[in-house]
């Protein structure tokens, strides 16, 4: 770490649980963020500001005026631009020392299998069950820790699935892939802007704890937020032996 980095990250380094050791792990890490929208925006900005050395952003959408109410990584001038390039510009301005890779594509299972090797942690900031299940299955197969978040209206949820541990549950233990869900989107149901900010920031915090090896992550727990009443609830998640994704692991 050079003198400029010691100064830039000094407020992390002063924290006993982080120090130079964990900050160096941030600098050496490669985070994959899938989704550069409401959740991915704050998550990416906090990881960039914290000095995560390489961040890959994957999203196939372009910035729309309706995104700007909550997707704080984008600006009015970004309307019509791909979300990943818009986000890359913001992250590079925030911290020019890190390497930001913008992938304007959808993260299907084939792409994930080809690109997960070498990734330190994955942040699922997507907005549909099919993508979430594809991400989960790939992370299980490659034993890459996964931080999963979701938000709609005033409701948010977050959990961490750490597949480096043999007894870790997976997303499919909680939401079976063969179970029918009503797919809803903020484009039809709406979303309270700070809710995605809270969950996205927590995803960044979880990812940093995974990378740095300090504190206690949400592995084995699901936290649920009701931001209308500002109430949190936590439930424990157990690995399901008959889970079609991780049961045979």
Instruction: Give the whole-angstrom CA distance, residue 170 versus residue 246.
Output: 7
- In this prediction, residue 190 carries a pLDDT of 87
Per-residue pLDDT tens listing for the chain (249 residues): 999 999 999 999 999 999 999 999 999 999 999 999 999 999 999 999 999 999 999 999 999 999 999 999 999 999 999 999 999 999 999 999 999 999 999 999 999 999 999 999 999 999 899 999 999 999 999 999 999 999 999 999 999 999 999 899 999 999 998 876 665 556 668 899 999 999 999 999 999 999 999 999 999 999 999 999 999 999 999 999 999 999 866
Q: Is residue 184 part of a domain?
A: yes
Q: Is residue 249 part of a domain?
A: no
Q: Is residue 245 part of a domain?
A: no
Q: Is residue 174 part of a domain?
A: yes
State the residue range of the domain holding 102.
3-236
Structural domain total, the chain: 1
Q: Is residue 147 part of a domain?
A: yes
Within 13 Å and on the Cβ side, how many CA atoms surround 201?
8
- In this prediction, residue 181 carries a pLDDT of 61
Instruction: Give the whole-angstrom CA distance, residue 178 versus residue 100.
Output: 35
Instruction: Give the whole-angstrom CA distance, residue 88 versus residue 56.
Output: 9
- Which two structure tokens, joined as six digits, stand for 20? 């130079």
Chain Cα centroid distance, residue 53: 16
- In this prediction, residue 186 carries a pLDDT of 60
- In this prediction, residue 183 carries a pLDDT of 59
Instruction: Give the whole-angstrom CA distance, residue 124 versus residue 152.
Output: 15
Q: Is residue 248 part of a domain?
A: no
Q: Is residue 10 part of a domain?
A: yes
Question: In this structure, what CATH number is given to the domain that contains residue 86?
Answer: 3.40.50.720
Instruction: Give the whole-angstrom CA distance, residue 233 versus residue 223.
Output: 6
Q: Is residue 121 part of a domain?
A: yes
Instruction: Give the whole-angstrom CA distance, residue 216 versus residue 18.
Output: 13
């Amino acid at each position: 770490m050079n003198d400029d980095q010691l100064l830039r990250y000094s407020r992390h380094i002063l924290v006993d649980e982080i120090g130079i050791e964990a900050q160096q792990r941030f600098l050496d890490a490669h985070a994959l963020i899938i989704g550069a929208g409401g959740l991915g925006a704050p998550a990416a900005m906090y990881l960039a500001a914290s000095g995560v050395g390489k961040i890959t952003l994957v999203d196939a959408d372009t910035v729309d005026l309706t995104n700007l109410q909550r997707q704080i990584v984008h600006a009015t001038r970004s309307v019509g631009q791909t979300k990943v390039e818009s986000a890359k510009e913001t992250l590079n301005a925030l911290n020019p020392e890190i390497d930001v890779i913008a992938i304007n594509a959808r993260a299907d299972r084939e792409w994930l299998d080809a690109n997960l090797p070498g990734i330190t942690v994955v942040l699922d900031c997507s907005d549909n069950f099919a993508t979430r299940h594809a991400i989960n299955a790939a992370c299980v197969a490659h034993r890459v820790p996964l931080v999963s978040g979701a938000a709609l209206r005033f409701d948010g949820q977050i959990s961490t699935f750490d597949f480096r541990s043999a007894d870790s549950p997976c997303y499919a233990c909680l939401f079976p892939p063969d179970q029918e869900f009503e797919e809803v989107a903020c484009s039809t149901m709406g979303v309270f802007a700070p809710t995605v900010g809270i969950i996205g920031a927590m995803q960044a915090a979880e990812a940093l704890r995974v990378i740095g090896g300090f504190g206690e992550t949400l592995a084995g727990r699901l936290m649920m937020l009701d931001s209308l009443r500002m109430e949190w609830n936590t439930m424990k998640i157990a690995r399901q032996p008959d889970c079609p994704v991780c049961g045979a692991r």
